[in-house]
Structure 1
């Protein structure tokens, strides 16, 4: 075994780390996850208030059950955001983190406990009430994060420059002749 035998393995490991972590970092994903949680959580209240206001002003055929459309809009916007994040260099793990915030808010509002009604004086009922929606949010975030990463990298490859190779395992031997 020679010293040159380890180079392909270290190159693959570096490529795997680059795919997992990306170049954009966790900081941006964490901030957008938190912002996505807050905006998504409040979006359900805003949609309800808007529907009630429109109905009180005499609008007809105003849907009062806006939970499904709002949750669908949150899911679509999250998927687009994750793909865009991956297209500019985000990795799989930050993409999953980015998707978790909005999904957690949407699942808490759709399948979780009644909003603003759980007393925090006894933490056990609170933890039990939110554990299932947050667990489902992790599963959804993993699915959308991985798929969004794949779509984002394809989009980045289509619009990318011809100077960079499309494959993370590309051979650099052609550059060695220069």
Structure 2
């Protein structure tokens, strides 16, 4: 390994470790896709639950649960990003992990009416989803980077730092 590969002072290697982490993109990509699907369906599930409760005679249930569902999903996503970073995920995979759920939330709250945009003409469809997906990317970057920083602090506080205290037990 040359000095250029590892850097004279280790900075390029440390920067790569921060950006990519020790946990691969595969896990983040899978959780991003799962998060998108579950988040997108959560709005339908909440609507079905409200309709079922109303048909059973329940009163006092708010009819529009979009804001509480979106808030709960955003908080759950942020907690997931922090946990991912605490176990070795990098900043870029953390952003990828956050993008899926945020894209679903923004498509359901700020995007076109679900299931109503005809796909026969792709231009209106692309125009309708471009803005929510762009905002989702910005939110994912913000939450991914902040979640990475908090996750690394949590990992350090939780005893993940190697201070050599357990070295005697392994020798």
The alpha-carbon distance between structure 1 residues 19 and 59, as it changes in their structure 2 partners (threshold 3 A), is same
Q: CA offset at residue 9 of structure 1?
A: 3.9
Report what 2:42 is aligned to. 43
TM-aligned CA deviation for residue 128 of structure 1: 0.2
Aligned to 1:30: 29
Does residue 87 (structure 1) correspond to residue 86 (structure 2)? The answer is yes
**Matched positions, count:** 163
Would you say 1:64 and 2:67 are equivalent positions?
Answer: no
CA shift, 1:4, in A, is 7.8
- C-alpha displacement of 1:134: 0.1
Question: In structure 2, what is the equivalent of residue 137 of structure 1?
Answer: 136
SS of equivalent to 1:160: helix
Residue deviations 1:50-78, cap 9 Å, x none?
A: 00110110111011110000000110000
TM-score scaled by structure 1? 0.87
- Mind listing any 5+ residue stretches in structure 1 that lack a counterpart? 166-178
Instruction: Give the 3-state SS of the residue equivalent to 2:162 in structure 1.
Output: coil
Query: Take 1:6 and 1:39, find their aligned partners in 2: how far apart are those partners?
Result: 41
Q: Does 1:98 align with 2:79?
A: no
- Counterpart in 2 of 1:169? none
Q: Distance in 1 between matches of 2:117 and 2:4?
A: 60
145 and 7 in structure 1: CA distance in 2 versus 1, 3 angstrom threshold: closer
Residue in 2 that maps onto 1:116: 115
Say whether the 8 Å CA contact 2:6–2:12 is kept in structure 1.
Answer: no
Tell me, in whole angstroms, the C-alpha distance in 1 between the residues paired with 2:130 and 2:19.
Answer: 26
